[in-house]
Amino acid sequence: MSLKERIKECLEEDLLELTEFRGDLCVEVPKNRVLEVMSKLKKEAGFDFLSDVFGVDNLDLYAAKAKKAKKKTGEEEEEEPKKKEPPPPRFEVMYLLLSLSTNERLQVKVRVPEDDMDVPSVTGIWRSATWPEREAFDMFGFRFKGHPNLRRLLMWDEFEDHPLRKDYPLEGKGEERHLNYDTV
Amino acid sequence: MAREIETVCITTGPAEVGDYVTLNIGPIHPAMHGTLRVITKTDGETIISAEPEIGYLHRGVEKLGENLTYKQFLPLTDRLNYCSAICNNVAYELAVEKALGIEVPEKAQLIRTIMMELARIADHEVLVGILGVDLGALTPFFYLIIQREEIYEIFEWHHGARLTNSMGTIGGVEADLPDRFHQKWPKMRDTIRKANDETDRLLTHNRIWMDRTIGVNAFCADDALNWGFTGPMLRACGVKRDLRKDEPYLMYDQFDFEVPTGKHGDVFDRYMIRMLEMEESIKIIDQAYAMYQKLPEDAPLMKKVPKIIKPPEGQIYHAIESPNGELGFFIKSDGTDKPYRIKIRPPCYMVYQAFGELVQGEMISDLIACLSSINVIAGELDR
């Protein structure tokens, strides 16, 4: 049985989307089912190793797509598309899984809307998610529910923005770091 | 001794924190390998808890990558693990080549293999040398660092840089092996072996060395996998896992080499794994060089790639076995000339997050030994 079929059988209705690019499989699962899906993948499908967790911001991607769509439809219908359904969720959390016995890799994608940044933490299943989740919180602002120590990792604690978001300028906003050693 | 203190810690709990001394080590400290900081809570010389703090060398490489073209990002990958920059270069090149769906010519693959294995030897030599220095053995460092300089000389002949190599490009390598390599390698193979042998005789059965390393920071395989360990750190725990064997890239499936594994996951096993891996790397280079010599002299070095690289829309992840473990690049392309999202999976990041657990109950001087044996490189840790 191929990996695709096994994943389909394992996830059943939790599987929202399955894409393949250059041999890399990527499955999308609903956000509130992350924990169930991950433990199922670990126990039933054999994906017992978590290599990484990180976020993706799709803001620019959607903007570019909307621009393209506008060009195609012509300028007359410019005002109409605004009434369409709400935009797709802005962020994605990606989990890179690996099966140590079969050496297969799987990307798991969870879509996260901007107004609800809570994501269940997988640190209870794999402890290797500890720092990657902290970094994703630092860089994008996801709030991982159930994480033992969700503090900033790479940026300093008083930093307010989330630098890997697409609307954060490349050269920064002129923040300065004032070291405060007493807080430790 | 360590066990007793651990139980004391559990029974008293954090309410009586005042009994312990909080000791801040780093970020500017000669034993902390760059810019690492560990906040330890100690009882006498014993560590009750240790919390690493990172980010002092954060340069926003991933954000920069989103604003640079695929070729412009290549020199930035040197600055990740500066002890083995070539492995980072090749890892990135392979990831972009996977996104483009191309495979480079055989000769380029062999040159990449030879250079990567030389970089692996250089990286391991630095690690063993520094581990010795941190534990008070200064002599082996000099034997090894001379060999590293020789390897860097080859890098300089090939692409003009010693440390930040930026070797090759997307689609192959620009230059053939330098002429001087052909004379240098047979001699160098023996000198590397000799230096390793002398280091082995100086350290491995040395009473002080054994006392300082055997049983220090022992870690079990299940915990190591749970924490996401890869590379020599995982192999020291007894798990036979090497991406060169398990998910072969380039031409590693055609080479004959062993994957050394340890048993206890302590500092001594990590040291031994590295010593043995250097020998395996020499074997790989010999085989790759023999295959290289069979190729015609005018064999192509580059695959034809467009001047502006625009991978089709999609996302890929490609990992290689760097000297520290699994080094992966995740690239999400939106069809333009710049990567939409680029994520680096540094190997020592996953190991260093378990640092608190590794050193709990050990002595402060063992913390330094542990840090050296992990081979934490601040450049790839903080990106």
Closest partner CB to A107 (pick from B22, B317, B334): B317
Give residue B218's pLDDT band: very low, low, confident or very high (50, 70, 90): confident
- Contact A51/B60, CB-based, under 8 Å? no
Q: Is A69 on the interface with B (CB under 8 A)?
A: no
Q: Enumerate the domain spans of chain B.
A: 2-53, 61-382
Chain A and chain B share a number of CB contacts under 8 A equal to 88
Label residue B196 left, alpha or beta by phi (over 0 means left) and psi (-120 to 50 means alpha).
alpha
Mean pLDDT across chain A, nearest whole number?
A: 82
- Contact A52/B330, CB-based, under 8 Å? yes
| Average pLDDT over every residue of B67-96 | 89
What's the pTM?
0.87
Quick one: closest CA in A to B347, which residue? Answer: A51
Q: What is the pLDDT of residues A107-121, one digit of tens each?
A: 998 988 888 888 898
As a whole number of angstroms, the distance between CA B35 and CA B59 comes to 13
- Contact A130/B314, CB-based, under 8 Å? no
Q: Choose the mutation target among A128, A139, A153 for the interface with B, i.e. most B CBs under 10 Å.
A: A128
Q: What is the ipTM of this complex?
A: 0.84
Both tokens of residue B338? 């710049």
Closest partner CB to B226 (pick from A61, A126, A163): A126
Give residue A10's pLDDT band: very low, low, confident or very high (50, 70, 90): confident
Task: Provide long-range contacts, Cβ within 8 A and 24+ apart, for A112-118.
Answer: A112/A31, A112/A142, A113/A89, A114/A89, A114/A90, A117/A91, A117/A141, A117/A142, A117/A143, A118/A142, A118/A143, A118/A145
| Residues in chain B whose Cβ is within 8 Å of chain A | 22, 24, 39, 54-55, 58, 60, 62-64, 67, 98-99, 101, 225-228, 241, 246-247, 314-317, 319, 326, 328, 330, 332, 334, 340-341, 343, 345, 349-350, 353-354, 382-383
The fold adopted by the segment(s) B61-382 is Cytochrome-c3 Hydrogenase; chain B (1.10.645)
Which helix (DSSP H) or strand (DSSP E) does residue B347 occupy?
A: helix B347-352
Quick one: closest CA in A to B339, which residue? Answer: A61
Q: Choose the mutation target among B23, B315, B348 for the interface with A, i.e. most A CBs under 10 Å.
A: B315
Q: What is the pLDDT of residues B252-308, one digit of tens each?
A: 888 888 899 888 888 899 999 999 999 999 999 999 999 888 888 888 888 888 888
Quick one: closest CA in A to B334, which residue? Answer: A61
Please name which of B34, B35, B38 lies closest in space to residue B53, comparing C-alpha atoms: B38
- Contact B330/A96, CB-based, under 8 Å? yes
Q: Is A126 on the interface with B (CB under 8 A)?
A: yes
Residue with tokens 């797509």: A65
**Chain A residues touching B101 at Cβ < 8 A:** 22
Q: Choose the mutation target among B353, B355, B380, B383 for the interface with A, i.e. most A CBs under 10 Å.
A: B353
**Chain A residues touching B225 at Cβ < 8 A:** 48-49, 100
Closest partner CB to A153 (pick from B24, B54, B350): B54
Q: How far is B102 from chain A (nearest CA, A)?
A: 10
Please name which of B111, B54, B46 lies closest in space to residue B295, comparing C-alpha atoms: B111
Q: Is A56 on the interface with B (CB under 8 A)?
A: yes
* Per-residue confidence (pLDDT) for residue B6, from 0 to 100: 40
Query: pLDDT above 90 covers what percent of chain B?
Result: 11
Range with the lowest mean pLDDT among A156-160, B140-144, B257-261?
Answer: A156-160
| DSSP annotation string for B218-256 | ---HHHHHHTT--THHHHHTT----HHHHS--TTGGGS-
Q: Enumerate the domain spans of chain A.
A: 3-183
- Contact A51/B354, CB-based, under 8 Å? no
- Sequence-separated (6 or more) residues with CB below 8 Å from residue A151: A134, A157
Mean pLDDT across chain B, nearest whole number?
A: 86
Q: In what order do the strands lie in the sheet with B21-25?
A: B21-25, B37-43, B46-53
Residue A176 has pLDDT above 70, yes or no: yes
Residue B224 has pLDDT above 80, yes or no: yes
3-state secondary structure of B288: helix
A120 forms beta bridges with: A145
* Per-residue confidence (pLDDT) for residue B295, from 0 to 100: 86
Residue B101 has pLDDT above 60, yes or no: yes
Residue B12 has pLDDT above 50, yes or no: no
Q: What is the pLDDT of residues B234-255, one digit of tens each?
A: 999 888 888 888 888 888 888 8
3-state secondary structure B124-184: HHHHHHHHHHHCCCCHHHHHHHHHHHHHHHHHHHHHCCCCCCCCCECCECCCCCCHHHHHH
Q: Is A62 on the interface with B (CB under 8 A)?
A: no
* Angle ∠(A121,A125,A127) on CA atoms, nearest 5: 80
Residue B22 has pLDDT above 70, yes or no: yes
Query: B-contacting residues of A 24-53, CB under 8 Å?
Result: 24, 26, 48-52
- Sequence-separated (6 or more) residues with CB below 8 Å from residue B78: B85, B88, B89, B163, B164, B165, B166
Q: Which of A55-59, A70-74, A82-86 has the highest mean pLDDT?
A: A55-59
- Contact A127/B354, CB-based, under 8 Å? yes
**Chain B residues touching A49 at Cβ < 8 A:** 225, 228
Quick one: closest CA in B to A57, which residue? Answer: B341
What dotted CATH number matches A3-183?
3.30.460.80
Please name which of B101, B59, B72 lies closest in space to residue B337, comparing C-alpha atoms: B72
